[in-house]
């Protein structure tokens, strides 16, 4: 089956500020740094041969320090900044070929942006601020107020419709900005450091809310930040930028465990691995399991052979039933039972393959048995033993 086309596809994108910007694209400049080009030609290379793609429903985080080009990049996607060279394709459409009318329609119908400074109109109520994009589209008052109210409820601001922005905290104002973006039901959200002006507690709350919201609305999101922890927390994929170039792109786990160069290494050196490594990176195949169709004597033999006091019991539908103890198996033998079906089991402590080690650690303190890793259907995929969990926390060489 053919892979679906990416929602966003960017190839060879350049943005050079100054007179005759094409001079920076000459082959003679290919080995020169940004500062050298600026000193010799008086040109500022904001983006340099940037290429990446974003799958539908993905949160793609662009991370970098001030001046790295990340904000310029997000603006070139919808031509708020015109690229010097390259291609930008969204849903298979060449954005750089759009006429002014097509571009305006594209921005109104498919894209919404959320900025750091909220951009709220102070004289308008929350409801009217959220309904602004719908008003621009020409929707009637009843329709736009209904849609705006639904969006306000979605971001947890029900009851605040008649307030003015000045009567709200910074975090609440940012929720209004997010509600306004969601109200027009865009295919894609562009978020340019939306939480960077907020205090740490409110920032964490909004990060959590964004992830919860994404699980419901499943939008394609390009998120700009200078905060590595924020990038690692919310990003499905992360692109690290420096001097207008993407120097590494990958999953949060890849960025932390396999940094591409010294610059990225320095960026991630203080990051706890437990915050990015997933259960699937440290889980192991179970030494032994038993099945409901087996008899208790076979189960006892398996447990004795592996020197185990308990094993996972797998049902006839191949889902995990729970933890079967040796004492319970002996009792079944005494009862003359022929099969393990219906046997009493202890609840298994379970997790999913994509769960973070940081979230699994507290679970390990509540069970003496390995933690079971199960799939969507409840099938046992592997187990996490306490030793592997500790290794994932402290061993810088733990392989993913």
Which residue shows structure tokens 């609840």? 347
Q: Are residues 3 and 61 in the same domain?
A: yes
Domain assignment present for residue 361? The answer is yes
Highest averaged pLDDT of the listed ranges 54-68, 116-130, 152-166, 265-279: 54-68
Q: Are residues 312 and 374 in the same domain?
A: yes
Mean pLDDT of 4-29: 92
What DSSP designation does 371 have? E
Mean pLDDT of 184-193: 90
Q: Are residues 299 and 328 in the same domain?
A: yes
Q: Are residues 258 and 299 in the same domain?
A: no
pLDDT in tens, 40-71: 999 999 999 999 999 999 999 999 988 899 99
- Look at residue 243 in the predicted model and tell me its pLDDT: 93
63 CB contacts (<8 Å, ≥6 apart)?
Answer: 70, 224, 225, 226, 227, 228, 231, 238, 239, 240, 241
Structural domain that includes position 356 = 280-394
3-state helix, strand, coil in the chain (%, to 5): 40, 25, 35
CB contact at 8 A, 320 and 378: yes
Q: Are residues 264 and 351 in the same domain?
A: no
Mean pLDDT of 139-166: 90
In the chain, the number of structural domains is: 2
- Look at residue 3 in the predicted model and tell me its pLDDT: 67
Q: Are residues 262 and 297 in the same domain?
A: no
> CA-to-CA distance for 276 and 357, rounded, in angstroms?
7
- Look at residue 133 in the predicted model and tell me its pLDDT: 87
Domain assignment present for residue 30? The answer is yes
Angle between helical axes of 200-217 and 170-183 (0-180°, round to 10): 20
What DSSP designation does 193 have? S
Q: Are residues 253 and 333 in the same domain?
A: no
Domain assignment present for residue 128? The answer is no
What DSSP designation does 233 have? H
Q: What is the mean pLDDT of the chain?
A: 89
Domain assignment present for residue 252? The answer is yes
CB contact at 8 A, 312 and 286: yes
Domain assignment present for residue 153? The answer is no
Q: Are residues 232 and 250 in the same domain?
A: yes
> CA-to-CA distance for 270 and 265, rounded, in angstroms?
9
CB contact at 8 A, 69 and 77: no
- Look at residue 137 in the predicted model and tell me its pLDDT: 85
- Which of 229, 253, 271 delimits the end of a domain? 271
Q: Is 138 left (phi over 0), alpha (psi -120 to 50) or beta?
A: left
Domain assignment present for residue 119? The answer is no
Q: Are residues 6 and 58 in the same domain?
A: yes
- Largest Cα–Cα separation, the chain: 91
Domain assignment present for residue 139? The answer is no
**CATH number for 295:** 3.10.580.10
- Look at residue 392 in the predicted model and tell me its pLDDT: 58
Of residues 191 and 170, more confidently modeled: 191
Q: Are residues 303 and 389 in the same domain?
A: yes
- Look at residue 8 in the predicted model and tell me its pLDDT: 95
Q: Are residues 13 and 70 in the same domain?
A: yes
Domain assignment present for residue 132? The answer is no
| Phi (first) and psi of residue 276, to 5 degrees | -125, -25
Of the chain, the percentage scoring pLDDT greater than 70 comes to 96
> CA-to-CA distance for 272 and 252, rounded, in angstroms?
12
**CATH number for 240:** 3.40.50.300
Smallest CA-to-CA distance from 319 within 371, 375, 246 is with: 375
Q: Are residues 370 and 228 in the same domain?
A: no
């Amino acid at each position: 089956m053919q892979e679906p086309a990416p929602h966003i596809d960017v190839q060879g994108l350049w943005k050079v500020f100054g007179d005759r910007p094409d001079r920076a694209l000459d082959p003679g400049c290919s080995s020169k740094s940004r500062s050298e080009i600026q000193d010799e030609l008086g040109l500022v290379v904001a983006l340099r041969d940037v290429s990446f793609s974003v799958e539908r429903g993905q949160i793609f985080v662009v991370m970098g320090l001030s001046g790295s080009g990340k904000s310029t990049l997000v603006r070139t996607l919808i031509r708020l900044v015109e690229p010097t060279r390259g291609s930008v394709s969204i849903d298979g459409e060449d954005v750089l070929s759009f006429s002014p009318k097509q571009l305006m329609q594209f921005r109104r119908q498919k894209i919404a942006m959320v900025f750091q400074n909220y951009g709220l109109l102070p004289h308008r109520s929350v409801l009217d601020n959220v309904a602004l994009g719908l008003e621009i589209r020409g929707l009637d008052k009843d329709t736009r107020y209904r849609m705006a109210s639904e969006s306000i409820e979605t971001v947890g601001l029900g009851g605040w419709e008649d307030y003015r922005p000045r009567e709200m905290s910074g975090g609440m104002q940012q929720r209004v900005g997010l509600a306004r973006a969601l109200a027009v039901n865009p295919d894609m959200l562009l978020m340019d450091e939306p939480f960077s002006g907020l205090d740490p507690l409110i920032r964490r709350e909004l990060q959590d809310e964004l992830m919860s919201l994404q699980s419901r609305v499943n939008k394609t999101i390009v998120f700009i930040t200078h905060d590595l922890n924020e990038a690692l927390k919310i990003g499905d994929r992360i692109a690290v930028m420096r001097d207008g170039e993407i120097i590494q792109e990958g999953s949060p786990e890849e960025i932390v465990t396999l940094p591409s160069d010294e610059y990225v290494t320095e960026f991630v050196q203080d990051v706890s691995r437990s915050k990015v490594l997933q259960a699937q990176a440290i889980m192991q195949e179970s030494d032994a399991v038993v099945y409901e169709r087996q008899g208790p004597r076979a189960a006892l033999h398996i447990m004795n052979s592996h020197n185990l006091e308990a094993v996972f019991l797998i049902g006839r539908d191949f889902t995990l039933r729970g933890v079967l103890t040796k004492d319970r198996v002996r009792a079944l033998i005494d009862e003359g039972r022929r099969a393990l079906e219906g046997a009493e089991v202890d609840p298994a402590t379970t997790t999913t393959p994509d769960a973070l080690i940081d979230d699994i650690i507290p679970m390990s303190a509540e069970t003496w048995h390995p933690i079971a890793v199960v799939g969507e259907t409840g099938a046992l995929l592997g187990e996490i033993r306490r030793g592997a969990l500790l290794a994932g926390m402290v061993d810088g060489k733990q392989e993913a």
